[in-house]
């Protein structure tokens, strides 16, 4: 028997020990008998990997399983294809944003919930699937919540035009099952008993409420991890941190400390002879992700430092110890700035329990919480607020409208977002010309929805394409779609060298435009004979740039397809490459315009009037006094508000766009949100707009008249009259 066959047999044997296995036949029957079914069970019970296989082997083919996270979609598909003994991408495949590893013959397809939304756009009845499984529903991601409502509407219409009726299975680890069941017409709930061992939980009292806004949690998590490694018996460790940069910093610190340990004296368990440190975050390459699931060499303790993805989406065998930092990176709408911002916030108590539960899957475990009881009581909410109630809805509202769902207020949400968030999304779509005053999707809006990008970036890209200059904008859009490409090392000597290299790249790009700098990195790296070596030399993340190359190709394919349409817009432009890029960006980012106010600070022009500073990572940092108007890509909020990825612009490029920010009040769109716009309301709107135009015309005329009747104008006119009179007298004299 070959090594791969042995591995497959082991995987099959392990799968039979999962709690779900003894309920296999009853589960298959429940799916066959129900249009809607809720399946609940602890993380690690086998729901994600086993249920699709059971259904496939029972003859229920064409199964789609959604995941909130791309890493989970990829790794689970790899696991299932391995267990079934098939090549990944054939019978079992996956699809995530900018990466499709499936064919038309794929029978079990794992995909992100965002990709599922795009499939519904192309095929609203999901005719190619017999079963849709929405997994990890308890995470309450924005796209999953929208899918919950969309699929309820789709399945409630019946199976018209389908050979077999579509079935929906919603799987969750902790979500309130009664709430979901009543949402789906009191559908049945199938509970899979867990297989958890006791977990001892301990507060380490290293941080408290005063540290809520501090980054000290990274060092304290490292300290606790080393204590666990040196004092606890054999068993792997899972450390929960917030994001890629924090994880890489923690891994570096752990490696330094572990290197100087003397295992004869410093480590309590003499069977432990080493520490294997592995990071885990969303944008990691697939081959690195695989290492997480491999057992460590004999005598070596594995330590996985991960984001929240390891709390529910993925199961890592052998974990006995949890180190919980108590924080998570979460996208929240900041009303002061008027933008969605990725913030580090305390986790909820329910999330903390999820994290602790990872230690009790195969044996009794321990959870070390670096915070104190006061932090637990005062800083951590009971449950995580659903994403749909705390982030921008612009993209999903456009998707719903393109699907013909115009009453976005009465759409069946599991938890309704605040009406102001819906109205703000409609206002932004109106500002981008994606919808008209009646709320109907425009031709431009239908082009925008084709791209898996934020609306502002899509708008800029379409402008460049209309000018036949997409070669400038496509790489920029791709580079803005990956994580930070610049390596900024922790050690001072590395920092200095990286800074010199980054300044060289900035100088080649003109030294005053972060967007142009991204374009320069993309082009120089692609033109290099050895791109990975070029990246290493210039302190650039090769993996991120490599992803950007792939994204650029896929965006180009979408654009080429759209440009073949007869009514695709075409325009002309005369000017430099830098001007072209900046003017295209202005059309997409005019909501992110700021003007210099006092000293080095700028004031945003979106109505919030937020005072912002240019972030030190920008190539424009230190040049503030030479700037007047700027646009920016995103915002970082600490004790101050910083703007990142910045470029200077001219006022004349945005002077006709800025009034759009204040052209319509969000509450004027209330009837649009309910699809209740009347002809009378439209007539009033048009009358108001006509009055506004008339007022502007009158104002311009008054300005001209004022200029004509001004003192200097009269003096100039008198001088011209005297000059003409002098000429006449001279002619008479001759």
**664 in a structural domain:** no
**697 in a structural domain:** no
pLDDT 10s digits, 551-598: 999 999 999 999 999 889 898 888 788 889 999 999 999 999 999 998
Same domain, 128 and 171: yes
How far is residue 338's CA from residue 319's CA, in Å, rounded to a whole number?
41
How far is residue 180's CA from residue 202's CA, in Å, rounded to a whole number?
33
Burial state string for 47-86 with b = 16 or more CB within 10 A and e = fewer than 16 = bbbbbbbbbbeeebebbbbbbbbbbbbbbbbbbbbbbbee
Same domain, 137 and 236: no
List Cβ neighbours of 640 (8 Å cut-off, separation of 6 or more): 613
Same domain, 237 and 303: yes
Backbone angles phi, psi at 164, to 5 degrees: -125, 145
pLDDT 10s digits, 206-236: 999 999 888 899 999 999 999 999 999 999 9
Q: What is the 3-state secondary structure (H, E, C) of 706-730?
A: HHHCCHHHHHHHHHHHHHHHHHHHH
The residue among 652, 670, 690 that closes a domain is 652
State the pLDDT at residue 705: 41
Beta-sheet pairing, 108-112 with 319-324? unpaired
- pLDDT band (50, 70, 90) for residue 381: very high
β-partners of residue 324 are: 240, 369
List Cβ neighbours of 347 (8 Å cut-off, separation of 6 or more): 308, 324, 326, 327, 328, 355, 380, 384
**732 in a structural domain:** no
How far is residue 422's CA from residue 420's CA, in Å, rounded to a whole number?
5
Instruction: Evaluate if residue 692 carries a pLDDT over 70.
Output: no
Higher-confidence residue of 591 and 363: namely 591
Same domain, 31 and 143: yes
How far is residue 14's CA from residue 9's CA, in Å, rounded to a whole number?
9
CB of 276 closer than 8 Å to CB of 300? yes
Residues of the chain with pLDDT > 90, as a percent, come to 51
Same domain, 283 and 166: no
**668 in a structural domain:** no
Same domain, 213 and 177: no
pLDDT 10s digits, 434-486: 998 888 999 999 999 999 899 999 999 999 999 999 999 999 999 999 888 89
State the pLDDT at residue 669: 76
CB of 389 closer than 8 Å to CB of 417? yes
How far is residue 54's CA from residue 446's CA, in Å, rounded to a whole number?
39
The residue among 652, 673, 697 that closes a domain is 652
- In the block, tokens 């002619």 appear at 731
The residue among 170, 192, 214 that closes a domain is 192
**730 in a structural domain:** no
State the pLDDT at residue 240: 96
State the pLDDT at residue 325: 96
In which domain, by residue range, is 252 found? 199-388
Same domain, 172 and 294: no
Same domain, 486 and 604: yes
β-partners of residue 322 are: 238, 367
CA angle 75, 196, 108 (to 5 degrees): 30
- pLDDT band (50, 70, 90) for residue 334: confident
* Selection from 417, 213, 430 nearest residue 333 by Cα: 417
Same domain, 529 and 580: yes
Mean pLDDT of the chain: 86
Instruction: Evaluate if residue 619 carries a pLDDT over 60.
Output: yes
Instruction: Evaluate if residue 159 carries a pLDDT over 70.
Output: no
Beta-sheet pairing, 319-324 with 365-371? parallel
- pLDDT band (50, 70, 90) for residue 682: low
pLDDT 10s digits, 35-58: 999 999 877 788 899 999 999 999
Q: For residue 183, how far is the Cα from the chain centroid?
A: 27
Region of poorest pLDDT, from 27-41, 45-59, 168-182, 245-259: 168-182
**164 in a structural domain:** yes
Same domain, 7 and 152: yes
- The first and second tokens of residue 564, run together, are 């073949």
- The first and second tokens of residue 612, run together, are 């912002």
**78 in a structural domain:** yes
CB of 366 closer than 8 Å to CB of 320? yes
Average pLDDT over residues 377-393: 91
Count of domains for the chain: 3
**707 in a structural domain:** no
* Stated length of the chain: 734
Instruction: Evaluate if residue 412 carries a pLDDT over 80.
Output: yes
pLDDT 10s digits, 631-643: 999 988 877 889 9
- In the block, tokens 């991890």 appear at 225
Instruction: Evaluate if residue 708 carries a pLDDT over 60.
Output: no
Helix (H, G, I), strand (E, B) or coil at 647: strand
Between the alpha carbon of residue 107 and those of residues 56, 62, 120, the distances in Å are 8, 4, 18
Instruction: Evaluate if residue 706 carries a pLDDT over 60.
Output: no
Any idea what the CATH number is for the domain that residue 104 is in? 3.40.50.300
Query: What's this model's pTM, rounded to 2 decimal places?
Result: 0.81
- The first and second tokens of residue 212, run together, are 């809520």
Same domain, 188 and 220: no
The DSSP H or E segment spanning 274 is strand 274-280
State the pLDDT at residue 156: 81
Instruction: Evaluate if residue 714 carries a pLDDT over 60.
Output: no
Instruction: Evaluate if residue 715 carries a pLDDT over 80.
Output: no
Instruction: Evaluate if residue 335 carries a pLDDT over 80.
Output: no
Average pLDDT over residues 668-672: 74
- In the block, tokens 């001219």 appear at 650
CB of 392 closer than 8 Å to CB of 421? yes
What number of other Cβ atoms are within 10 A of residue 527's Cβ? 9
Same domain, 242 and 383: yes
State the pLDDT at residue 733: 60
Average pLDDT over residues 110-133: 92
Instruction: Evaluate if residue 33 carries a pLDDT over 70.
Output: yes
Between the alpha carbon of residue 423 and those of residues 133, 496, 664, 696, the distances in Å are 31, 47, 11, 27
């Amino acid at each position: 028997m070959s090594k791969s066959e042995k591995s497959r047999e082991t995987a099959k044997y392990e799968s039979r020990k999962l709690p779900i296995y003894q309920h296999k036949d009853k589960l298959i029957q429940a799916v066959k008998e129900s249009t809607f079914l809720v399946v609940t069970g602890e993380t690690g019970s086998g729901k994600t990997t086993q249920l699709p296989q059971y259904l496939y082997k029972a003859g229920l083919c064409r199964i789609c399983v959604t995941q909130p996270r791309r890493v989970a979609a990829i790794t689970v598909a790899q696991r299932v294809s391995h267990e079934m003994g098939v090549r990944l991408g054939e019978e079992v495949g996956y699809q995530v944003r900018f990466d499709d590893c499936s064919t038309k013959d794929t029978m079990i397809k794992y995909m992100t919930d965002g990709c599922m939304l795009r499939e519904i756009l192309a095929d609203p009845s999901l005719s190619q699937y017999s079963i849709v499984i929405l997994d990890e529903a308890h995470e309450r991601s924005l796209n999953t919540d929208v899918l919950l409502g969309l699929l309820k509407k789709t399945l409630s219409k019946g199976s018209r035009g389908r050979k077999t009726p579509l079935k929906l299975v919603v799987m969750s680890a902790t979500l309130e099952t009664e709430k979901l069941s009543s949402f789906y017409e009191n559908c049945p709930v199938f509970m899979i008993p867990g297989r958890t061992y006791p977990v001892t939980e301990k507060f380490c009292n290293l941080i408290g409420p005063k540290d809520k806004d501090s980054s000290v949690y990274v060092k304290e998590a490292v300290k606790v991890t080393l204590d666990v490694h040196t004092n606890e018996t054999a068993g792997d460790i899972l450390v929960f941190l917030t994001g890629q940069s924090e994880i890489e910093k923690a891994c570096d610190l752990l490696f330094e400390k572990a290197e100087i340990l003397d295992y004869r004296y410093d480590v309590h368990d003499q069977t432990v002879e080493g520490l294997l440190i592995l990071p885990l975050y969303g944008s990691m390459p697939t081959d690195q992700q695989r290492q997480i699931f491999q057992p460590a060499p004999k005598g070596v303790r594995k330590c996985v430092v991960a984001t929240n993805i390891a709390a529910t989406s993925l199961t890592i065998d052998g974990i006995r110890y949890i180190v919980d930092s108590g924080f998570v990176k979460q996208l929240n709408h900041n009303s002061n700035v008027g933008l969605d911002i990725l913030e580090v916030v305390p986790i909820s108590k329910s999330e903390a329990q999820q994290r602790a539960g990872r230690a009790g899957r195969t044996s009794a475990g321990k959870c070390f919480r670096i915070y104190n009881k006061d932090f637990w009581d005062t800083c951590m909410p009971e449950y995580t607020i659903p994403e749909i109630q705390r982030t921008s809805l612009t993209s999903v509202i456009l998707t719903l409208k393109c699907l013909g769902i115009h009453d976005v207020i009465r759409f069946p949400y599991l938890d309704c977002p605040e009406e102001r968030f819906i109205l703000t999304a409609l206002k932004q779509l109106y500002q981008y010309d994606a919808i008209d005053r009646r709320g109907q999707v425009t031709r431009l809006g239908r082009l925008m929805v084709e791209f898996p990008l934020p609306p502002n970036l899509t708008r800029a890209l379409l402008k460049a394409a209309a000018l036949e200059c997409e070669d400038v904008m496509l790489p920029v859009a791709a580079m803005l779609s990956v994580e930070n490409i610049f390596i900024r090392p922790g050690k001072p000597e590395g920092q200095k060298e990286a800074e010199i290299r980054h300044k060289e790249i900035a100088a080649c790009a003109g030294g005053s435009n972060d967007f142009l700098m991204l374009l320069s990195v993309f082009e120089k790296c692609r033109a290099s004979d050895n791109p990975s070596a070029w990246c290493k030399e210039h302190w650039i993340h090769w993996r991120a740039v490599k992803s950007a190359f792939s994204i650029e190709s896929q965006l180009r394919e979408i654009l080429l397809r759209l440009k073949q349409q007869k009514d695709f817009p075409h325009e002309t432009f005369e000017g430099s490459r830098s001007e072209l890029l900046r003017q295209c960006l202005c059309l997409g980012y005019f909501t992110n315009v700021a003007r210099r106010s006092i000293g080095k600070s700028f004031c945003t022009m979106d109505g919030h009037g937020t005072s912002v500073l240019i972030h030190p990572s920008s190539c424009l940092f230190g040049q503030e006094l030479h700037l007047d108007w700027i646009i920016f890509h995103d915002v970082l909020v600490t004790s101050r508000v910083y703007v990142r990825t910045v470029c200077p612009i001219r006022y004349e490029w945005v002077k006709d766009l800025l009034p759009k920010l204040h052209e319509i009040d969000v509450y004027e769109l209330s009837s649009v949100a309910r699809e209740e716009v009347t002809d009378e309301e439209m007539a009033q709107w048009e009358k108001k707009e006509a009055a506004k135009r008339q007022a502007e015309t009158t104002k311009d005329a008054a300005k001209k008249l004022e200029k004509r009747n001004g003192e200097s104008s009269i003096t100039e006119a008198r001088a011209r009259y005297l000059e003409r009179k002098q000429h006449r007298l001279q002619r008479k004299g001759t």
